[in-house]
Structures are given as C-alpha cells and as structure tokens.
C-alpha cells in the first residue's frame, strides 16, 4: 500500500487517531497542525521508533507540515512546495477545526466567531483548493469533518453550528463539482467525542470540559477514525456521501440520555 493521505489537525483528537489508523494500514502520511513538537513526536512514533507491538504493517513515512489553516499564504506555500513524491495525494481529510465558546448570540465573543469561520470554513477551502490539483490527478477522495452541529442547531451553538452547516453545504457542492473528476466527497458528522475539543471550546477550563462528557460514554477519537477509514476503504465505484455518528446515549445534536 503506497497511498498518500493528508490529514489536517493531526496533533490531537480525530486527526491524530486517523494518523495512527492509516499508518497501521501502510499509508504514507502528510500530517499538518500548528503544534510542531506534537507532529515531530507523532512522526517519530509512526515511522517505527515507539510503535511497539501494535506498530504499522508496512514502512510508513511521515511528512509533517506546520501551518495555520487560516493563513492562506502559508497553506499555499506549504502545499505548492511539496516534494514531487508527496504530490500523489489520494486522500485529503479536512479535519482541522474548533469551537470557541458556547454563549447566547447577543453575548458571544465576536473574535471567537471570526476564528471559527476562518478555521472551519475558510481554512477548509484554502486547503482543499491547494490540494485539489494533486487529488484530481490521482482521482482521489476528500473526507470533511462536519458535525451533528452541522445538521441541527442547538442553543448557544450559533456560529459553530453555522460553520458546520457550511462544511455540510461545501461538501455537497464539492461532490457535484467533482463528479467530472471522479473524486469521492464524504462528510462525517460526529456527535460528542471526548477529545481536546471541549478544552479548546471552554478555553482551558478543564472542569467545564469534563462536565460535557459526564453521565454517559461519548465517542472516542478512534471510533471516528475507524469510520473515516471505512469510508476510505470501499471499492473505487462506491462513495459514502455522508455519515452521521453518535454514541448510543446521543440521538441528535440536542437529545442525550445521561445518568444523573
């Protein structure tokens, strides 16, 4: 297996779990994020160093790329200067994203709104446009990370929900425009998953972040990585257009059944 996957936001959560999953299947990995040290540590581990008994099935190479997806210049520069052998990208996983704050519309911090739109929407567009020339040559696949918050709005979800509705719309539109190139476009909409997501959302307030996952078993990052891997492993003529996945205790973006 010599396929190449580019995963944005590979320093944590779903992106990091995907890196491990695809590495174990022998993919070559381009991993991106802003936290350079985490990318370097992951590279060392996946290329063999600390992989241990559950290590990769085949030799894995990792190309770490440090950039902020909000910075169009950095995105373009990093991706246009890829070494020739890394340009044969078969799969782009647009995963980098975040929520900031959970506040009533009239009280929410407008800088948080800007950051979410810049990251979740504009960042995804910048990366997609930069990678598409390579994907088109490979007749590859794009997998975008939406959310249940992109299918249904909830109180105080305002702009985070809007940004994920945008990811859903962009995914549908990409799928239509990519028909002529034979590129599969998939969007995964997970429910609550216990990653660093809530710590970021609540700006380092660990107690508040922990409360989000109390009284039930949320999705794990590996559950989402398994689903993404499934969508990437189907026969050439089969495309999962969208997948909504939650833990058993969650029905949609609003309804949970929690032990009190």
**Could you give the residue numbers annotated as active site?**
160
Report the residue number, 68 or 136, with the smaller CB distance to ligand NDP: 68
Q: Which residue is nearest to ligand NDP (CB)?
A: 13
Report the residue number, 28 or 198, with the smaller CB distance to ligand 8X3: 198
User: Considering the complex, what minimum distance in angstroms separates the CB of residue 240 from ligand NDP?
Assistant: 16
User: Considering the complex, what minimum distance in angstroms separates the CB of residue 148 from ligand 8X3?
Assistant: 6
Q: How far is Cα 197 from Cα 100, in angstroms, rounded to an integer?
A: 9
Name which of ligand NDP, ligand 8X3, none residue 98 binds, using a CB cut-off of 5 to 8 Å depending on partner kind.
Answer: ligand NDP
Name which of ligand 8X3, ligand NDP, none residue 253 binds, using a CB cut-off of 5 to 8 Å depending on partner kind.
Answer: ligand 8X3
Both structure tokens of 229: 């891997």
User: Considering the complex, what minimum distance in angstroms separates the CB of residue 259 from ligand 8X3?
Assistant: 19
Closest C-alpha to 22, from 51, 60, 69, 78: 60
Report the residue number, 82 or 192, with the smaller CB distance to ligand 8X3: 192
Task: List b or e across 103-138, with b for residues whose CB sees 16 or more CB atoms inside 10 angstroms.
Answer: eeeeebeeebbebbbbbbbbbbbbbbebbbebbeeb
Report the residue number, 24 or 212, with the smaller CB distance to ligand 8X3: 212
Question: Residue numbers of the site for ligand NDP (CB under 6 A)?
Answer: 8-15, 33-35, 68-70, 95-98, 119, 123, 145, 147, 190, 192-193, 195-197, 200
Going by C-beta distance under 8 Å and a sequence separation of 6 or more, which residues neighbour residue 3?
26, 27, 28, 90, 91
Name which of ligand NDP, ligand 8X3, none residue 220 binds, using a CB cut-off of 5 to 8 Å depending on partner kind.
Answer: none
DSSP 8-state secondary structure symbol assigned to residue 219: B
User: Considering the complex, what minimum distance in angstroms separates the CB of residue 48 from ligand NDP?
Assistant: 22
Name which of ligand 8X3, ligand NDP, none residue 33 binds, using a CB cut-off of 5 to 8 Å depending on partner kind.
Answer: ligand NDP
Q: How far is Cα 234 from Cα 147, in angstroms, rounded to an integer?
A: 22
- The length of the chain is 260
Closest C-alpha to 253, from 146, 154, 167: 154
User: Considering the complex, what minimum distance in angstroms separates the CB of residue 169 from ligand 8X3?
Assistant: 16
Closest C-alpha to 32, from 15, 14, 45, 13: 15
Report the residue number, 136 or 220, with the smaller CB distance to ligand NDP: 220
Going by C-beta distance under 8 Å and a sequence separation of 6 or more, which residues neighbour residue 217?
247, 248, 249
Question: Residue numbers of the site for ligand 8X3 (CB under 6 A)?
Answer: 147-149, 192, 253
Name which of ligand NDP, ligand 8X3, none residue 226 binds, using a CB cut-off of 5 to 8 Å depending on partner kind.
Answer: none
């Amino acid at each position: 297996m010599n396929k190449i996957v580019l995963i944005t936001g590979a320093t944590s959560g779903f992106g990091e779990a995907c890196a491990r999953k695809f590495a174990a299947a022998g993919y070559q990995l381009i991993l991106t994020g802003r936290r350079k040290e985490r990318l370097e540590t992951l590279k060392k581990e996946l290329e063999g160093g600390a992989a241990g008994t559950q290590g990769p099935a085949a030799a894995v190479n990792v190309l770490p790329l440090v950039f902020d997806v909000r910075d169009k210049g950095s995105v373009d520069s990093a991706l246009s200067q890829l070494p020739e052998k890394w340009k044969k990208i078969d799969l782009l996983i647009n995963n980098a994203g975040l929520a900031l704050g959970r506040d009533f519309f009239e009280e929410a911090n407008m800088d948080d709104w800007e950051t979410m739109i810049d990251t979740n929407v504009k960042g995804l567009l910048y990366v997609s446009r930069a990678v598409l020339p390579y994907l088109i040559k490979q007749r590859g696949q794009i997998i975008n990370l939406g959310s249940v918050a992109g299918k249904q709005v909830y109180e105080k979800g305002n702009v985070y929900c809007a940004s994920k509705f945008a990811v859903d719309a962009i995914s549908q539109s990409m799928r239509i425009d990519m028909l002529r190139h034979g590129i599969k476009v998939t969007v995964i909409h997970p429910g609550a998953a216990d990653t660093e997501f809530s710590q970021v959302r609540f700006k380092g307030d660990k107690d508040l972040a922990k409360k989000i996952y109390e009284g039930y078993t949320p999705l794990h990052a590996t559950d989402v990585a398994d689903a993404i891997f499934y969508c990437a492993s189907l026969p050439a003529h089969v495309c999962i257009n969208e997948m909504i996945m939650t833990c058993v205790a969650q029905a949609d973006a609003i309804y949970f059944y929690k032990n009190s």
